């Protein structure tokens, strides 16, 4: 992810004072209203939004309210649910924010207490679900680390304009423990393991099913071999394989037309 120099410079110039203020608010156990004010300042000074035209407070959604919304060109880009700095974020806070977004058809939600920042992508289905895209402690951000700058950039105005959230989420969906676990259990990789075992131990008699059982039951954790996320990884790999097969078929050269033999007229 390429971060513009002006954004990196803004991080350097503005982040450190807010790290100190966020910790001070946590220690003083300030009110939620005070934390909302701090979050709005961070969004403006660190993340680059215009405080008066691009940040809306108490966004009303079907009779309920979300603390903040980021709006560009009249369109809400993500909602922000804020809890007081001294509160530990939990699933009930998240569910409230996700419900706000689902009612409005908004894809992205941030849950924060000014210190912990969590970015989620809403999955519109029955029931409504969500993915945690990234999370960070703003007081622990080290701007010398490229990964830390990338996490901040996702929430920046410049990141929104370049769809950094979408690109980052797609990358995370493809490169994760569930996808890697499925590939490790594939016939191709099991075959490589069997071949290497036979190379190391020529007298060893082993078949692919034994290796698959060891991988599933002894090597890999259950969380990457069972559950909904495993099924999602399997579906993504299946779609990718089908797409590759269709591409290969299209790339095949068209065979030349067979000559038509005509019998000579008698």
Report the alpha-carbon angle 95-97-100, nearest 5: 110
Low-confidence ranges of the chain (pLDDT < 70): 58-65, 254-266
Note the pLDDT of residue 261.
47
Please state the domain extents for the chain: 5-162, 177-249
pLDDT at 264: 44
- Please tell me the predicted confidence (pLDDT) of residue 175: 73
Query: What pLDDT shows up at residue 240?
Result: 78
Contacts of 251 (CB under 8 A, 6+ apart): none
Q: Return mean pLDDT, the chain.
A: 86
Candidates 58, 75, 77; CA nearest to 67 is 58
Q: Measured between alpha carbons, how far is 84 from 79 in angstroms, rounded to an integer?
A: 17
Q: Which two tokens stand for residue 13?
A: 């110039």
pLDDT at 265 (0 to 100):
44
pTM of the model as a whole: 0.73
5-162 to CATH, choices 3.30.410, 2.60.420, 1.20.1300, 3.90.1570: 3.90.1570
pLDDT tens digits for 185-194?
999 999 999 9
* Other beta carbons less than 10 A from residue 171's beta carbon: 11
């Amino acid at each position: 992810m390429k971060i513009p120099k002006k954004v990196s410079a803004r991080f350097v110039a503005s982040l450190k004072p807010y790290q100190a203020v966020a910790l001070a608010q946590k220690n003083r156990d300030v009110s939620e209203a005070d934390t909302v004010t701090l979050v709005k300042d961070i969004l403006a000074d660190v993340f680059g939004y215009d405080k008066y035209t691009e940040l809306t407070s108490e966004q009303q959604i079907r009779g309920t309210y979300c603390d903040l919304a980021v709006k560009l060109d009249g369109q809400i880009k993500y909602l922000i649910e804020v809890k007081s700095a001294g509160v530990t974020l939990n699933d009930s806070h998240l569910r409230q924010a996700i419900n706000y977004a689902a009612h409005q058809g908004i894809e992205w939600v941030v849950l924060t207490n000014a210190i912990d920042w969590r970015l989620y992508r809403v999955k519109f289905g029955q029931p409504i679900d969500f993915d945690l895209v990234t999370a960070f402690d703003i007081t622990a951000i080290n701007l010398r680390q490229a990964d830390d700058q990338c996490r901040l950039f996702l929430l920046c105005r410049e990141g929104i304009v370049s769809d950094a959230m979408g690109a980052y989420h797609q990358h995370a969906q493809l490169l994760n423990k569930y996808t890697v676990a499925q590939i490790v259990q594939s016939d191709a990789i099991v075959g490589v393991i069997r071949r290497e075992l036979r190379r190391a131990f020529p007298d060893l008699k082993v078949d692919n099913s034994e290796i698959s059982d060891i991988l599933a039951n002894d090597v890999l954790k259950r969380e990457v071999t069972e559950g909904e996320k495993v099924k999602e990884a399997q579906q993504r790999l299946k779609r990718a394989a089908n797409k590759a097969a269709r591409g290969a078929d299209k790339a095949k050269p068209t065979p030349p037309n067979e000559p038509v033999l005509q019998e000579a007229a008698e």
